[in-house]
Structure 1
Amino acid sequence: MSNPNPSPSSSSSAPIRFGIIGCADIARKLSRAILLSPNTTLHALGSRSLSKAQAFAKSNNYPPSTKLYASYDAVLDDPDVDAVYIPLPTSLHLTWAVAAARKGKHVLLEKPTALNVAELDQIIDACEEGGVQFMDGTMWTHHPRTRVMSDFLQDSQRFGQLHYVQTCFSFAADNDFLENDIRVSPDLDALGALGDCGWYCIRASLFAANYELPKSVTALRNPIKNKAGVLLSCGASLHWEDGRVATFNCSFLSHLTMNISAVGTKGTLRVTDFIIPYEEKSASFSTLSNGGFGEMTLAWKQKPSEHIVNTELPQEVVMVREFSTLVEGIKNRGLAPEKKWPTLTRKTQLVIDAVVASIAQGFEPIQI
C-alpha cells in the first residue's frame, strides 16, 4: 500500500482565488475540486446570464461569498481573481485564454486546449508575456498513482526499455449525445472524439515514452465521422526513431474502456482505469517483471503484481492544489511560471495535429 501525497503548500499563504468562466458540465467537477483543495477558494463564476450562474452555483453548493456574474469579462475584470478555470468549448479557448492571460490571470484550461497548435502557441505566448501559469486539465497525470507508475517505467531492472504502448479510451454515447453534445459540433469542438478521448491516449503514450515526441504519426484507416464531419471514432500509431511504437484508439461508439498497456524488454505495466479510477481515493495498476513459462509451458511462472495507491485527495483536487501552489509561488515569492506544463500540452497538441493531417492526407505518415 502506498500514499505518496506531496505536502500541501504553506497554510500561512492566503488561498488562491479562482474564477470559473462558463457553466459546462465538467465545471461541476472542478468546482468541487476548488472547494476541497486546501489552498484555494471559489471566488467568482461567470456565465452568459446571471440566472444561469445563480442556478449553477446553487446546484453545486457554492459558498454565499462567491461572486456571480452575467458575463465572462466580468470575471476577468474582477481584481480579486487570481486564476481562472476555462471549461468552454474548444473553439472559444483561444479568445478567452488569451484574454485571461492579458488580464494577469493564471490559466487552468480544459482539454483539448485548442483546435490546433498554432492557436495553442498564441495562448502559451500570452501566458508567457503575462507572467502567468498555464496548465491543462488532464487530471490523471496528477494522481499519485501516475508517479508510482512512472517509477516502474523508468526502472531498468524491472521494466527495461520501452518497446510498445497500447492505449484506449472509449465510451458508448447515447443518441442525444451523438446528436446534440458540443463534442460532436464542428463549430464548438471540431476535434470530436480525437480531442475529447484521444487527448488522454496521446498523453498516456507520451508519458510511457518519458514525454519524448515520436518521429512520425500515422492515422489508422476507416475513422468514423458524423454527418458534419466530426470524428466519432479513430486511432493512430506513433513511431519513434529507436523503434518504439504506440497505438491508440478513441471512440464515442464503444464500451467504456480506459486502458494502458506498456511493454518493455523486462516488464509490462497495465492499468484499466487510468483516466478516472474505479474508486475516488484508491487506484491500482499491475506489473510483471521477468515473466516466463513454467514447466512444459503449461502455465506462467508468476502472476502480475497488483499495486494499490491511496490518496487523501481525489486527482482533480490534487491538480487544483498543484496548480495553485505554482500560482502562489509566482504571486507571493517571485517565482517564474513552471514551463513543464505548457510543454507537455504542446507535445500532446502536436500529435493531435499530426493525426488530423494524416487523415486528411490519405493516412500517410506525418513527420513531427
Structure 2
Amino acid sequence: MLKQVKWGILGYARIAKTSVIPGILKSDNAALYAIASSDADKRKECSELYPETIVYESYEALLDDADVAAVYIPLPNSMHKEWATRAMSKGKHVLCEKPIALNSEECSEMLEAAERYGVILMEAFMYRYTDRIRRVQEVLASGELGQVRYVQSTFRFLLNRPNTIKVQPELGGGSLYDVGCYPVNFVGMVTGQMPQSCVVQTVMDNGVDVLFSAVLRYPDGTVASINSGFNAFGQLNSEIVGTLGRIDIPDTFLGKAGSFTVTTESGVRYIEVEESDRYALEVTDFSAAVLEGRRPLCSLEETQRNMQVLDMLLAAMRGDEA
C-alpha cells in the first residue's frame, strides 16, 4: 500500500479551501486528516464537506494530534512565524504560505527551528511546479539567451473584496507581500543573486501599498523590474532579456496551458506548455520529501534570499513614504 502523509490545515482560509485542500485530495501520497478553525461556521462547513476529516476548534489541538505529520499554514502573514514554529516544535513538517515571514529575521528563526526539530519547512511558491516554469528553466540552462541582462516580472489584480486581510497592515497586508513576492521569487530564480541596490515607487492606501514598483541592480550589471498591485486591471507576465535572445512569458505564475515565445536572431519560436495542477504537484512533492527524507523543490536558501530582498524593498518603500 502506498504510504500517505497525514495533513493538518491551520485555518480554513480561502486559499486552503479553493486550492490546497483540493490538491491534497488529488495527491496519492497525501491525506486530508485534520482542519482547525476558530470559526464555528467554518468548522460546520468543513465537517459537511469532509466528513472523514477531524475538525478541531483550536490550532493547538490539531498540533497536539500525534497522527498529523505535515501542516499547511494559510494564516495571515503576521501569524506565519508563530504557528510555523509551534508546529515544528511538535515535530510537524510545515508548508507555509508565501511570504514565509514578515522579514528575514523572522525567516532565519524559522529556518533555525526547522533544523533544531529535524523537520521540513518550505515556502509555498506553487508556480514553481508548472510545466511553464520548467520549460523556461530549460531555455535558460541551454544558454540560448546568452548572458541575462534584464528581467521584468509583474503580478497585479484589481482587489474588490472589502476588509480582506490583504489590506490590513497589522496582518502583513499590501501588494508586495501578497503578490509582489512572486516576481521577487521569479527574478531570484533567474539571477541567482542578491541585488546590490534598488529604487522603489509606491501608491499607498490606509497603510498598505496598493501599487508597488521597483528597479533592482545586481553586482554583474543585470537590472530587474518588479511590479505588483491591487488598484488596477490584472496583469501577469514576465520577460527575460539576454545578449542573444529574449523570452516573453504570459501567465507566468499560472498553471494553465498555453505558450511563451523565444526570440533570437533566428526569429521567433513558440514553446507550448501543458496545464499543470500547481497545488497538487506541490503537495505531492512535499509529501514525497517527508516520506523519502529529502528536500522539496523550493530550497530554504532561496527562501532566505527572497526575504532579504523583501527587507531591502520594504526599507526603500518606507524611505519613499517618508
Interval of TM-score (by shorter of Structure 1 and Structure 2): over 0.9
Pair member with larger Rg: 1
Q: Name the CA distance, whole Å, in 2 between partners of 1:318 and 1:231.
A: 31
**Pairing 1:288-307 to 2, within 5 Å after superposition:** 288-291=263-266, 302=267, 304-307=268-271
Residue in 2 aligned with 1:76? 63
Question: Does the CA contact (< 8 Å) of 1:111 and 1:199 recur in 2?
Answer: yes
Q: Name the CA distance, whole Å, in 1 between partners of 2:167 and 2:283.
A: 28
Q: Name the CA distance, whole Å, in 1 between partners of 2:132 and 2:296.
A: 22
Residue in 2 aligned with 1:347? 305
Aligned to 1:172, the other structure's residue is in SS state coil
* More strand by percentage: 2
**Pairing 1:329-368 to 2, within 5 Å after superposition:** 329-330=292-293, 337=295, 341-362=299-320
The structural deviation recorded for 1:212 is 2.0
Residue in 2 aligned with 1:171? 157
**Pairing 1:33-48 to 2, within 5 Å after superposition:** 33-48=23-38
The structural deviation recorded for 1:183 is 0.8
Residue in 2 aligned with 1:295? none
Residue in 2 aligned with 1:323? 286
Q: Name the CA distance, whole Å, in 2 between partners of 1:347 and 1:71.
A: 33
- Does 1:245 find its partner at 2:223? yes
Deviations 1:141-173 (A, max 9, x none): 1113212111101222x2111010011111011
Q: Name the CA distance, whole Å, in 2 between partners of 1:260 and 1:215.
A: 21
Matching residue's letter, 1:343:
E
The structural deviation recorded for 1:339 is 9.1
- Does 1:127 find its partner at 2:117? no
Question: Does the CA contact (< 8 Å) of 1:217 and 1:358 recur in 2?
Answer: yes
- Does 1:27 find its partner at 2:16? yes
The structural deviation recorded for 1:21 is 0.3
Q: Name the CA distance, whole Å, in 2 between partners of 1:119 and 1:283.
A: 38
Residue in 2 aligned with 1:153? 140
Residue in 2 aligned with 1:269? 247
1:181 to 128, 147, 164: 164
Any unmatched runs of 5+ in structure 2?
none
Residue in 2 aligned with 1:200? 182
Q: How many equivalent pairs are there?
A: 321
Question: Does the CA contact (< 8 Å) of 1:257 and 1:272 recur in 2?
Answer: no
Matching residue's letter, 1:307:
I
Aligned to 1:361, the other structure's residue is in SS state helix
TM-score, with length taken from structure 1: 0.83
Deviations 1:297-340 (A, max 9, x none): xxxxx3x22211225x501111111111111112xxxx5x5595
Aligned CA RMSD, in angstroms, stands at 1.8
TM-score, with length taken from structure 2: 0.94
Any unmatched runs of 5+ in structure 1?
1-11, 292-301
Aligned to 1:187, the other structure's residue is in SS state helix
Aligned to 1:344, the other structure's residue is in SS state helix
Matching residue's letter, 1:247:
S
Aligned to 1:154, the other structure's residue is in SS state helix
1:217 to 198, 211, 222: 198
What is the percentage of aligned positions where both structures have the same residue? 33
Matching residue's letter, 2:193:
E
- Does 1:89 find its partner at 2:76? yes
